[in-house]
Amino acid sequence: MNINPSSSVSESISWVGKWTFVLAAAGSAVGLGNIWGFPYKAGTEGGSAFVLIYLGCILVVGLPIMMAEIMIGRRARKSPVNAMKIAAIDSGQSSKWQAVGWGGLVSGILILSFYSVIAGICLNYIGIAAMPNTSISSVEQFNLVTASAPRLLFWHTVFIGFNIAILAAGVIGGIERMVRLLMPTLFVLMIIMVINAMINGDFIRGLSFLFSPNFSDVDATTFLRAMGQAFFSLSLGMGSIMCYGSYMPKEENIFKTSLTVAGLDTLIAILAGLAIFPIIFAYGMEPEAGPGLVFISLLSVFVDMPFGNILGPAFFTLLSIAALSSAISLLEPSVAYFEEEKISLDAFLIKNKEATFYAKASGNSMINAGINDGDILVIDRSLPVTNNKIAICFVDGEFTVKRIAIQEDKILLLPENPNYKPIEISKENEFVVWGIVTYVIKKLT
Ligand code: PFF
């Protein structure tokens, strides 16, 4: 018997350009974690020792995990939940390992719950940096922003709105275009800010705070925090990179790609440190200021800097876009999972969705037509009733499946089993052709 294969059931999607994966993964990695998180954590954890341990974690732990995530994603070409399941089954393990993928979906949403609030503050700071209120200090300005729940809620909602709009339009094209423009511009702006820190900040002190090793305060929590920051900054452990890896073309080199992404990510974090700490020291601020550090220090920078009311909004706009490309990657594993095509015969069996029904056959009157007791019939109610069709008919209060024979003066309902008699329909019968049987689905014994 010949079978006619359909076109492949589910076509996988791929990034288009050679650089797209690098750009998308860098878009995910570079975000608030680099520019907001890294400096404030380096500040509260005492600087150089944290920075060096962080760099070590990126190289020794982050990079191999990034490669592993990309491999698992690319091999399965599925969302992290199913990619983990496939990886486990292929290596002879329980499919329950997909729980790791589920963990990723949940963590993504949990991270987004605070990430969107910080990103909302960035959006708010675009306007604040354009027209700073010089009668209050940058610390007071930050406190003003964070003390107002409606304000935080508003900007968080705006940020989430952008996410929804981009995800609804489809990640592949949107992210590619966004990141292509964002990355170089962000890089140039960071360089400008580092140059500014060289001129107007205490650059030597900033450098030594970040890089001259001082391991006196290091304890186990420093390692834990540095490792956490490395995972967070590289977007690891929650399926974002695995998900993007599932769109990566087979011919791309995973090692080189991961190295580029991790390199770019680290570079941006270091540049953020170099732009911020010299200013902190020159202005007599505290490096331990915590989550407000970037907003407080940079607003002071932009207020004093030539063209600060242009560069400031530009910086916070870029930071918001960087946060957006990361936030999208936090949601992408969930979106990919829920969009994943479930296996379905609908394309084969259903022409008119609204008019199609299933029914279970019972009895043996149609066995020669291939309909046996217990088979499932697919019925299309929109098809015209014509001679010789097998139909579900409603006769005197009962349903029956028969072949229709339309004759000049009567209608016969023909069985396909010599042990049964045709049913003749006359005017006295209550009779409706309910629908035409289009397919029979049967269990093979
Ligand atoms: N890497 C992003 C940042 O540094 O801002 C945050 C992030 C994105 C973390 C995606 C985790 C993730 F899956």
Q: Which atom of ligand 1 is found nearest the CA of 322? A: 5
Pocket test for ligand 1, best of 58, 159, 326, 332 (most atoms within 8 A of CB): 326
Verify whether ligand 1 is closer than 6 Å to residue 38 (CB atom).
Answer: no
Distance 344 CA to ligand 1 centre (A): 35
pLDDT above 90 (res 3): no
pLDDT mean over 409-425: 94
Check pocket membership of 31 for ligand 1, CB cut-off 6 A. yes
33 lines ligand 1 (CB under 6 A): yes
What's the confidence (pLDDT) of residue 187? 86
Exposed / middle / buried, residue 76 (Cβ in 10 Å: 0-12, 13-18, 19+): buried
| Mean pLDDT, range 53-64, rounded to an integer | 95
Looking at residue 16, what is its pLDDT? 57
Q: Which residue has the tokens 């609804």?
A: 168
Q: How many CB atoms lie within 10 A of CB 300?
A: 21
Residue with token string 């292509």: 180
**Tokens 């354009």 sit at which residue?**
130
Whether residue 257 has its Cβ less than 6 Å from ligand 1: no
Please give the pLDDT value at position 177.
Answer: 73
pLDDT at 383: 95
User: How many CB atoms are located within 10 Å of the residue 368 CB?
Assistant: 12
| Beta-bridge mates of residue 441 | 376
CA–centroid distance for 24 within its chain: 11
Between 113-117, 131-135, 154-158, 416-420, the lowest mean confidence (pLDDT) is in 131-135
pLDDT in tens, 243-301: 999 988 888 899 999 999 999 999 999 999 998 889 888 888 888 878 888 899 889 88
The reported pLDDT for the residue numbered 173 is 64
Q: Is the pLDDT of residue 441 over 80?
A: yes
Instruction: Give the residues across from 359 on adjacent strands.
Output: 377
For the stretch 415-423, contacts whose Cβ atoms lie closer than 8 Å and that sit 24 or more positions apart, written own/partner, are 415/365, 415/366, 416/365, 416/366, 416/367, 416/368, 416/369, 416/371, 417/364, 417/365, 417/366, 417/367, 417/368, 419/364, 420/364, 420/365, 423/395
Q: Which of 166-180, 209-223, 329-343, 389-403 has the lowest mean pLDDT?
A: 166-180
Residue 343 pLDDT > 80: no
DSSP tag of 439 = E
Span from the CA of 1 to the centroid of ligand 1 (angstroms): 53
The CA radius of gyration of the chain, in Å to the nearest whole number, is 32
Tell me the whole-structure pTM to 2 decimals: 0.75
61-75, 175-189, 193-207, 418-432: the lowest-pLDDT one: 175-189
Per-residue 3-state assignment (H helix, E strand, C coil) for 71-120:
HHHHHHCCCHHHHHHHHHHHCCCCHHHHHHHHHHHHHHHHHHHHHHHHHH
Over residues 112-131, mean pLDDT: 95
DSSP lists the bridge partners of residue 412 as: 405, 424
Higher pLDDT, 31 or 2: 31
DSSP codes, 395-424: ETTEEEEEEEEE-SS-EEEE-SSTTSPPEE
- Where residue 58 falls among pLDDT bands split at 50, 70, 90? very high
pLDDT computed for residue 7 by the predictor: 35
- Alpha-carbon separation of residue 114 from 156, 174, 230 (angstroms): 9, 24, 18
